[in-house]
Structures are given as C-alpha cells and as structure tokens.
Amino acid sequence: MLDEVPVALQMWELSGGELTRTWASEEARRRADLPCDRAQLAAACQAQAPAVLEWPGEADTWWRVQITPLGGTSVLAAFMDITAHRAHLRSLRASEHLNGEILSRLQEGVVVVDMDARVVVVNDAAAALFGVAVQDIADRPVSGIPVDLLDDHGHLLSDEQQPLTRALLGEEVSDQVVRFVRRDGSLLWVEIHANPLRDEHGEQYGAVASYDDVTARVEQDRRTRHEADHDALTGLANRRALERTLEAALGRAAARSRAVGVVMLDLDGFKAINDTRGHAAGDSALREVAARLRRCVRERDLVARLGGDEFVVVLTDLDRVDAVADSVERVREALTPSFDDMELRAAIGVALYPSDGGTADDLLAHADRAMYVDKGARNGSLR
C-alpha cells in the first residue's frame, strides 16, 4: 500500500542480470527529470521487500521512491516529490538549532513542560539555578526538580501554587518572586514568569517558565527598606516606622475592641555623658538601652528611637488596661542595672488608646506631655 499519492509510477524487472523498465504511467513517461538509481532498483528486485528510498533529482529536487514487491523479480516504484518537505525539514532543523543556541546563551533559565508536567526543554541557565545538571532534569517530571520554593514569608509553596502547575491549568503567572532552597542548602531569590503554550487552534499542549536570579536586587531592596525604617545606631524602628506601625495597631484595636499603649522615655542627663565621656560612650549607652527595651517587651510590640535620647514603646493588642502598667514596671526594672559605671534613668510618659486619643499623633503628644510631667516630678539621672 502506498503511503502517499505518487506523482509517477514505474514497474521494473530484473532478468538475467539486466534491469528493465517494463511499464510506466503517463506522468512517468512524460517526465524526464525523474531520477533512477539502477543499482538500488536491481537490489530491490532481488530482495522482494518493501522499501522507501530517497533520491536527488535535477535542479535540487528530491524524490521519495516507495518500492512495492510484485513477485518474482519485479517491483513497483512510486515517485513522490519531497523537495518542499526536505526544505521544511532543513528549516526546522536550522530553527531547532538556532533555538537551542538561543536557549543555551540566555542568562534566564527556561523550562518547558508538556501536559503531563514532564520537562521537554531545559537550558543550562535553568539547570544552574536549580543547582543540578541538565540531564538530571530533562525528560523527567517537573516535580523531581530538587528545589523547594518559598514565598516572601518563608512558607513552602504547595504543588497547586507552583508557577508551572498554575500555567498548566491555563493561568498566566507574572513577576512572582520566590525563594529557592536548593538541595545543597543554598538560597536564591528568583523571579518567575510562567505561561500556557497553545497551538494555532487554541489547544494547550504545555507550559513554559522563565527563571531570573534576582537575589542581589531583592537583598538591596530589603537593605534599602530596612535603612529607611530603622535607626542606624541602635537598629530600632525610626519615627517613620513608628507612626506607620502605630496607625496599623490602632486600626486593628478598633476592629477588635482592644487597647494600645504608648510608652515614651527620655534619658535624663544624657548630654552630660557625651560631654564628659565622649560620643562613643554615649552611643554605647543608647545601644544598651535599646537592647534592654527589646528584651522586656513582647515580640509583637514595637520599640523605636525618636532621635537623641528619646525612645517609644508601642504595646499592641492589649486585652486589659493594667497591662500597660506592668510593661512600664518591666521597663523601669530593665533600666535599673548600671552599665559601664553609668546609671540608666529615664522619665516615662504613657498614653492609652482609646482613652487618651484616637490617632497616632494624639497618643504620641499625650505620652510626650506625660513624660515631661514625670521628668519634672522626679530626679532621674544618667551619669
């Protein structure tokens, strides 16, 4: 049975060592450009087995010759013009080679999977990001890639949250930044884009994902954000972070009918430390106060430095008002032990939401006034 509709047909017979064309179709008789490899035809007549041959013709043409045995030493040769087909194959091979070259030179990692989530294309950059060799990934399930993906909170992404899984379900994923945990324990921040792949009829046949190492960018962004929100000397939150955090705490408290406490501290006599012992001693004292304040509050509370020798503690999500008094007592006790022959003393003012104000500005102003009242009423010192 012929695989395709032939352009021309010929019958050949081998008799007494002589190869003779015994019949030809009208088109075969008309066309003088049909190739003929007499040695292969003679071998086919002797073999009496189906065969498919490819012969070059004139003017860079190519022909597929399908041999059908007829019995004895005769065969039927059916000629199909495959010039365009071979040109397409050459173009396809060149395209595949070019695509391979492009993929291998890309700095971004690229992975293509089929609808069974099996890796069909992976480039060197992707393998390097995953920390494995290309052959360890290619033609294997994508679930076998030895990398854990974490979100920006450090939570492990489930299978359903994986970018390629989402793309296989038809979703387009853009600019998803995740943290890679490779099997050697090393960590990378990676930006992923993933998209479904569809043919000309709109049928999905797979998905593609690109991976870009953005570790340097993410770490720089984090450093920049940290510097914008923290005091360089003590590492505590600065005024900007304080106001933002306090406003958020007030919003949560209003929604949950909870209280918020603001405790403001001013170190007495701090100027004298700088004047008599130098700024290095003053800086050490400020860092020590910051460390002690951190230790005497809950993890969800905030300790901030307003500047100079003023500090603020925000006590969030309080279910009872007297919890503020307990915290103030802990603060006073934390400052009691001397540090490098310096006694740490502070005036303290307290404001409570909702009784003393409903906004961050109101509470900070109330605590500031209360602190100066305490400062005038006591003989605190830092010497």
Burial 287-310 (b: 16+ CB within 10 A, else e): ebbbebbbebbeeebbbbbbeebb
The type of residue at 12 is: W
Alpha carbon distance 254, 364 (integer Å): 18
Kindly name the residue from 231, 266, 268, 309 that is annotated as catalytic.
309
309 is catalytic: yes
Cis peptide leading into 354, omega within 30 of 0? Answer: yes
Alpha carbon distance 356, 365 (integer Å): 10
Q: What are the catalytic residues?
A: 309
